[in-house]
Amino acid sequence: MIINSRFFNRSELIGFVSLLLLLVVILPLALDVFRLNLVAKYLTYAFVAIGLVLCWGYGGILSLGQGVFFGLGGYCMAMFLKLEASSVANTKIQSTPGIPDFMDWNQLTQLPFFWKPFQSFPFALAAIILVPAIFAFIIGAAMFKRRVGGVYFAIITQAVAAILTILIVGQQGYTGGINGITDLRTLHGWDIRTDHAKLILYFVEVFLLFVAILVAQFIRLTKLGRILVAMREQEDRVRFSGYSVANFKIFAFCAAAVFAAVGGALFTLEVGFMSPSFVGIVPSIEMVIYTAVGGRLSIFGAVYGTILVNFAKTSLSETFPQLWLFGLGALFIAVVLAFPNGLAGIWGDYVQPRIDRLLASRTKKSGNGGLVANGAPAE
């Protein structure tokens, strides 16, 4: 019980349990497979948002290039799936059967060397984690060791996002260009497009999301997490205390990159394709907005924020095809101006004190029994 109550404080526990109920019980029962698949798509961004809570909310490192890592993870998965979908039998019509269709259109006659290892699923899985981690390490090491931070770092991540987009679009024979890698069908012979598969993928994703939440929470609560906060508040003091600030920053940035990459890989599985439109500056900023709306200091807030913003995006665009972007923009401005800590801030500042007062008045009435009852769910 002691460990539990330390690992999650009460409001986090409420967040955890209600999220568990929402994602595992309520949504699957209430929504049809189409809407549930949309939720699954939203949740892939939640991975990015959790990463941003660690790196931006706690570490104070604002990255405007998380789309890069989301994309790298997504492309690693898409390359594996595309190779499986491009069997010789499926691509008889091409001049070179057995290679992905877009390579054939671009006059490639054999699989490029860096595509070949992606025929192996274990390699693809490892690449989903390692490629973004190594890439983030390189960027992080190059920047943080030179003490580049703050706004400059944000701008550089943006530039990286722009560069990668241009690279993917320009090298279309190797990457599928602006169309992206489309028409993904099976994972080890298992058709990922059926309703049944979507349902299974949804639960796999929810499971991974909770793993991600627990990992993030764990990082936050260790000494490492405290150093991150200290760094955000007073970087110099941490440095003078003998800690290597750069290494901690690199770690936070790499961790956020891996979270984003897992989200990207799941996105590819859920949606069935990957394209440079998730890599660039605009999607990267959108991902930061999800975190801002949810609350950048709260892991659960970020998840709820992601679901809510995306849900608003879908429903507004269905109801008002021509006006929805304005509505969405207004929502962002309102949240950021009025509630800088996002939804989690609203919960912490307004909702929870009221509940506490309510509970406190009840506890007074019923004596000590109320406290025990309150503590019980924590076990």
Partner 1 sequence: MNGVLMSDETEKGLKSPLRRQLLMGMAAIPALAMMPRPSFGAGPATSAVNTTGLAVTDSEVTVGILHSVTGTMAISETGSVQAEKLAIEQINASGGVLGRKIKFIQEDGASDWPTFAEKAKKLLVNDKCAAVMGCWTSASRKAVLPVFEQYNGMLYYPTFYEGLEQSKNVIYTGQEATQQIIAGLDWVNKTKGAKTFYLLGSDYIWPRTSNKIARKHIEGHLQGAKVVGEEYFPLGHTQFNSVINKIKLTKPDVIYAIIVGGSNVAFYKQLKAAGIDMSKQTLLTISVTEDEIDGIGGENIAGAYACMKYFQSLDNANNKAFVSAFKKMWGEKTVIGDVTQAAYLGPWLWKLTVEKAGSFDIDKIAAASPGIEFKGAPEGYVRIHENHHLWSKTRVGRAKADGQYELIYETADLVEPDPFPKGYQ
- Which positions touch partner 1 (CB under 8 A)? 32, 34, 37-38, 41, 93, 95, 101-102, 104-107, 166, 169-170, 172, 177-180, 182-185, 193, 271-273, 275, 277-278, 314, 317-318, 321-322, 324-325
Identity of the residue, 34 or 113, whose beta carbon is nearer to partner 1 in the bound complex: 34
Q: Which two tokens stand for residue 188?
A: 């080890």
Q: How far is the CB of 289 from partner 1 (least distance, A)?
A: 15
Positive or negative torsion for Cα 33, 37, 42, 47? positive
Radius of gyration of the chain (CA): 22
**CA 219, 50, 148, 70 torsion-angle sign:** positive
Q: How many Å apart are CA 227 and CA 209, to the nearest integer?
A: 25
Q: Which residues contact 66 (CB under 8 A, 6 or more apart)?
A: 48, 51, 52, 157, 256, 257, 260, 284, 287, 288
Which tokens hold the place of 235?
Answer: 């970087």
For the bound state, the minimum distance from the C-beta of residue 134 to partner 1, rounded and expressed in Å, comes to 27
Shortest distance, CB of residue 312 to partner 1, whole angstroms? Answer: 14
Instruction: Say how many C-beta atoms besides its own lie within 10 A of residue 365's C-beta.
Output: 9
CB nearer to partner 1: give 15 or 180: 180
Query: Considering the complex, what minimum distance in angstroms separates the CB of residue 324 from partner 1?
Result: 7
The nearest distance, CB 241 to partner 1, in angstroms, is 46
Nearest CB to partner 1, comparing residues 104 and 205:
104
Name every residue whose Cβ is closer than 8 Å to that of residue 38 and which is 6 or more positions away in sequence.
310, 314
Number of neighbouring beta carbons within 10 Å of residue 252: 29
DSSP per-residue string spanning 116-159? GGGGSHHHHHHHHHHHHHHHHHHHHHHHHTTT--HHHHHHHHHH
Cβ proximity to partner 1, 164 vs 254, nearer residue: 164
DSSP state of 274: B
Contact 264, 72 (CB under 8 A): yes
Single-letter amino acid code for the residue at 97 = P
Pick between residue 328 and residue 359 the one whose CB is nearest to partner 1: 328
- Dig out the tokens for 169 from the structure: 């679009």
Smallest gap from residue 121 Cβ to partner 1 (A): 21
Query: By C-beta, is 169 or 255 nearer to partner 1?
Result: 169
Nearer to partner 1, 270 or 300 (CB): 270
| Least distance (Å) between residue 34 CB and partner 1 | 5
**Whose Cβ is closer to partner 1: residue 38's or residue 155's?**
38
Strand runs (DSSP E) across 148-307, as ranges?
186-187, 190-191
Strands (E) located in the chain? 186-187, 190-191
CA gap 253, 81 in Å, rounded:
28
Smallest distance, Å, CB 72 to partner 1? 17
**Minimum separation from the CB atom of position 37 to partner 1 (A):** 8
Nearer to partner 1, 109 or 368 (CB): 109
Residue 295 and residue 307: Cα distance in Å, rounded?
Answer: 13
